Amino acid sequence: MDYQMDHLRELEAESIYILREVAAQFEKPVLMFSGGKDSIMMVHLAAKAFWPARIPFPLLHVDTGHNFPETIKFRDDLVERLGAKLIVGSVQDAIDAGKVREEKGLNASRNGLQTGVLLEELEKGQYDAALGGARRDEEKARAKERFFSHRDEFGQWDPKNQRPELWNLFNGQKSMGEHFRVFPISNWTELDVWQYLALEKVELPSLYFAHKRKVFARAGTLLADTPIIQRREEEVLEEKTVRCRTIGDMTCTGVWESDADTLEKIIQEISTTRMTERGGRTDDKRSETSMEDRKKQGYF
Amino acid sequence: MTDQSTELLRFSTAGSVDDGKSTLIGRLLYDSKSIFEDQYEQIKATSERRGEEGVNLALLTDGLKSEREQGITIDVAYRYFATPKRKFIIADTPGHIQYTRNMVTGASTANVALILIDARNGIVEQTRRHAFISSLLQIPHIVVCINKMDLVDYEESAFEKIRDEFSKFSNKLDVKDIHFIPISALKGDNVVDRSENMPWYDGQTLMYYLENVHIGSDHNLIDCRFPVQFVIRPYNDDFHDYRGYAGRVAGGVFKKGDDVLLLPSGFTTRIAKIETHDGEVQEAFPPMSVTIRLEDDFDLGRGDMIVRPNNKPDVAQDIDAMICWFNEGPMLNRGKYTIMHTTQQARCIVKEVRYTLDINTLHRNQEDLQVKMNDIARVVLRTTKPLFTDEYRKNRITGSFILIDEGTNNTVGAGMII
């Protein structure tokens, strides 16, 4: 007998270990749910980690009000199926209440506004650990993120003063008012996630699969036609067969021309693609260190 | 296609700016097609803007703003690439700032240590440090890449001289498996493809080594250790009296029906079932996350351990260990800290500092017993309750612990039990 696990099962075992560690070490954890494939996989892993008990923490979705309708429907179906608790933090409400100000102009996005709403929800719910589906291969600032990432009372990340993380010992000790961000799928790559979703036959929103949609090009990215994005005159609509590689706010999620309409074809496409998955995210393109800057302030 | 079975291999690298480490990592990523076009275009544009010659691959690994500004790596960075045979996780650690802390962190989970030596300079202080830390952290395999062979005319004698000198030094260390490969990361010799410039070398290329080094025995499969992490109690109608002990196997192979001993209570019972969400499994081995159900109900909780009656760990309150100190303030003699060991947590007091170690000369200093940042020392701790431990040499999970400052909650030290 060869006692060797394959890489997907080893990654799964690691993530389950982290999820259980969070349930054991924290009083009031919450799982940040974006509707994207990574957070769908997180929910799937959490369901496995605590079976036959229910997931012992609620899901928190910060809704920009600019989500694809498919995302919201998928979220509600998933929550119902698992019998999980869902909390929705609304960016629209925060705008209406004058707590945050909507960006103006052509590339206006509510992406940045999520941070304030997220921090407010975390404080309101007195959550001491917020689980996120970020991966280290996504972006260079995330390559240095810990599994257990300590945040001060302002929710800020201090990349130069992170706790060293050794073996499988995770230090979740904190003072009053501080909290942790925890990233159980840190070691997964985009390809790992897709292979695992296929292996486990996890249900996914239709946006990930090739479909016909009216799109236009801006700064090398294809964006979906929606009333919430202002189009320049020269930006003409075309119908194309596209799919999303990441799903976020409609204003900043690019779509890709692709005819991958099954998981197998998506895996094939990703194994051979030469562009990163966040390459279509206009929020990352604002500056070279825009992810690091946003993370320091408390972004996912 | 989706059921392709590949293993996971973790390796650590350490090095300074000039020894070609970034170039080597860049080449491994590039040749395995793990660098994407947009990433490449981005670092190319940055290199041009900064007036650098060529594309600076180090920009791929330096993620934080201050690192880019200063041209140094501050923190452990994790990189990923895969070949059809294996998926690789690189813990890339800087060679200068906070070197002990970062090297130790990167080494703690590694299967392989990759040590890079500049063929022109031979063994330097940092090479010794890295080799020593690799042995202290018991990384099972070491591969020494003698780099920049192109700059010494691909001379066999240059390679042999460094290999012999390194072996002489590593004989004093506790290193089990060591390989030497002459390479040029810049030109690509012996990294992925065999070098035509070094016909005298008939060993493996680095990629071949990484894809084939045997890691199946890296875990302890003899001594059964299951630290209870979390107790699963669903409290619903379908699973009314269900009580499952969730955790990750830290050693040995557990089987259904095995007689087991529970620590600290000392009760014995049998394994009724080993479960995962996917159903029952017949055996559980490291590093599987499973749920164990016992034939009898006992009051077992987080921090307790399930073992075999004829193979017990040490049940100890006096812990003799090597320690690496990470904190700006020194370790206090008679100081009190929180200790985390497997899923246990206790308080401890530093009873004695036996010696501090000069990691360049391996000299044991018994006079200066102050343990400062980045120091390595032999200490004795006394814990408030018994821990279930093994020697770190026998088990990297049950033999390791961290120390936490009770005031700041920071992780201030890492220990390996002797």
CATH number of the domain where residue A73 is located: 3.40.50.620
- Whether residue A160 sits in one domain with residue A17: yes
The answer to whether the CB atoms of B80 and A187 lie below 8 A apart is yes
Contact at 8 Å (CB) between A84 and A43?
Answer: yes
* CB of A148 closer than 8 Å to CB of A182: yes
Interface predicted TM-score of the whole assembly (ipTM), two decimals: 0.92
For residue B181, the model assigns a pLDDT of 97
Name the residue among A47, A164, A192 with its Cβ closest to that of B105.
A164
When scoring B90, B232, B237, B243 by the number of chain A Cβ atoms within 10 A, the one with the most, hence best to mutate, is: B232
8 Å CB contact of A53 and B233? yes
Q: Are residues A242 and A108 in the same domain?
A: no
Taking the alpha carbons at both ends of chain B, their separation in whole angstroms is 45
For residues A121 and A261, membership in a common domain is answered with no
Residue pairs between chains A and B whose CB atoms are closer than 8 Å: 186
Taking contacts as CB-CB distances below 8 angstroms, the residues of chain B near A189 are 80, 82, 87
- CA A107, A108, A114, A116 torsion-angle sign: positive
- Tell me the percentage of chain B whose pLDDT exceeds 70: 90
Confidence of residue A173 (pLDDT cuts 50, 70, 90): very high
Task: Give the residue, A281 or A193, on which the prediction is more confident.
Answer: A193
Give the strand order in the sheet containing B112-118.
Answer: B77-82, B86-94, B7-15, B112-118, B141-147, B177-182
Structure tokens at A189: 């790559």
A81 shares a domain with A152: yes
Cis ω before B287 (30° cut-off from 0): yes
The residue-averaged pLDDT of B2-20 equals 75
* Cβ neighbours, 10 Å, residue B179: 15
The answer to whether the Cβ–Cβ distance between B401 and A7 falls below 8 Å is: no
Distance CA A232, CA A229 (A): 10
Q: Which residues contact A208 (CB under 8 A, 6 or more apart)?
A: A37, A243, A244, A245, A247, A266
Structural domains in chain B? 7-212 (3.40.50.300), 225-307 (2.40.30.10), 314-417 (2.40.30.10)
- A159 cis-preceded (ω within 30 degrees of 0): no
Contacts of residue A141, defined as CB under 8 A and 6 or more positions apart, other chains included, come to A159, A289, A291, A292, A295, B63, B64
DSSP string across B356-398: EE-TTT--EESS---B-TT-EEEEEEEEEEEEEE--TTT-TTT
On whether both A186 and A208 belong to a single domain, the answer is no
> Are A209 and A85 contained in the same domain?
no
At residue B120 the predicted structure's pLDDT band, cuts being 50, 70 and 90, is very high
Strand-pair partners of B274 = B281, B292
CB interface of A with B, residues 244-273, below 8 Å: 263-264, 267-268, 273
Over chain A, what is the mean pLDDT?
A: 84
Residues A161 and A245 in one domain: no
Q: Is residue A156 part of a domain?
A: yes
Q: Is it the case that residue B2 has pLDDT exceeding 60?
A: no
A172 lies in some domain? yes
Contact B132, B107 (CB under 8 A): no
Quick one: pLDDT at residue A295? 59
Tell me the pLDDT tens digit for each residue of B329-373: 999 889 999 999 999 999 999 999 999 998 878 899 999 899 999
- Residue whose pair of structure tokens reads 């200093």 in the numeric block: B365
Q: In which band, very low, low, confident or very high, does the pLDDT at A235 lie, cut at 50, 70 and 90?
A: confident
Q: Is residue A71 assigned to a domain? A: yes
Mark out the alpha helices in B83-192 (DSSP H runs): 99-107, 125-136, 156-170
Q: State the distance between the two ends of chain A, measured CA to CA, in whole angstroms.
A: 42
Q: Which amino acid is at A145?
A: E
Asked if the structure places residue A199 within a domain, the reply is no
CA distance B388 to chain A (A): 15
Q: Are both A83 and A108 inside the same structural domain?
A: yes
Residue A272 falls within a domain, yes or no? yes
Mapped to the 3 state alphabet, what secondary structure does A142-184 carry? HHHCCCEEEECCCCCCCHHHCCCCECCECCCCCCCCCEEEECC
Task: Using alpha carbons, select from B325, B344, B323, B324 the residue that is nearest to residue B389.
Answer: B344
Give the mutation candidate from A153, A167, A190, A287 for the B interface (greatest B CB count, under 10 A): A167
Tell me the DSSP string of A102-126: ---STT--SGGGHHHHHHHHHHHTT
Joined together, the tokens standing for residue B48 give: 């041009």
The confidence score (pLDDT) of residue B55 equals 67
For residue A21, the chain B residues in CB contact (below 8 A) are 229
Q: Is residue A237 part of a domain?
A: yes
- Give the pLDDT of residue A83: 87
What's the DSSP call for residue B418? -
- CA dihedral angle for residue B311, residue B316, residue B322, residue B328, rounded to 10 degrees: 140
Amino acid at B189: D
Q: What is the pLDDT of residue A107?
A: 66
Are A16 and A161 within one domain? yes
Q: Are B267 and B300 in contact (CB under 8 A)?
A: no
User: Domain total for chain A?
Assistant: 2
Tokens of B306: 């399930």
Tokens linked to A188: 């997964």
Band of residue B97 on the pLDDT scale cut at 50, 70, 90: low
Claim to verify: residue A87 and residue A122 sit in the same structural domain = yes
Q: What is the rounded CA–CA span in Å between residue B201 and residue B212?
A: 18
CA–CA separation, B321 vs B377, rounded Å?
8
In terms of Cβ atoms closer than 10 Å to its own Cβ (0-12, 13-18, 19+), residue B350 is: buried
* pLDDT (average), residues B222-232: 97
- Is A279 an 8 Å CB contact of chain B? yes
Q: What is the pLDDT of residues A60-116, one digit of tens each?
A: 998 888 788 888 899 999 999 988 899 998 888 878 887 777 777 766 666 777 788
Contact across the interface for B410 and A160, Cβ inside 8 Å = no
Cα(A134)–Cα(A37) distance, rounded to whole angstroms? 11
Nearest to B65 among A12, A23, A292 (CB): A292
Q: What is the pLDDT of residues B254-299, one digit of tens each?
A: 999 999 999 999 999 999 999 999 999 999 999 999 999 999 988 8
The 3-state DSSP class for residue B293 equals strand
* Confidence at B63, pLDDT banded by 50, 70, 90: low
A279 shares a domain with A142: no
Same domain flag for A157 and A274: no
Rounded average pLDDT over B377-395: 97
pLDDT at res. A93: 81
Would the CB atoms of A143 and B78 count as touching at under 8 Å? yes
Q: What are the residues facing B323 on neighbouring strands?
A: B377, B415
Answer yes or no: is pLDDT of A155 > 60. yes
φ and ψ at residue A216, rounded to 5 degrees: -140, 160
pLDDT tens-digit map of B74-95 = 678 888 988 889 999 999 887 6
- A215 belongs to a structural domain: yes
Residue B238: pLDDT over 90? no
Q: Read off the DSSP letter of residue A280.
A: G
Q: With beta carbons under 8 A apart, name residues in chain B contacting A9.
A: 288
Average pLDDT over all residues of chain B: 89
pLDDT at B403 over 90: yes
| A105 inside domain | yes
Residue A4 in this model has a pLDDT that exceeds 90: no
Could you list the residue range(s) of the whole structural domain that residue A99 is in? 7-193+289-297
Q: Is the pLDDT of residue B130 over 80?
A: yes
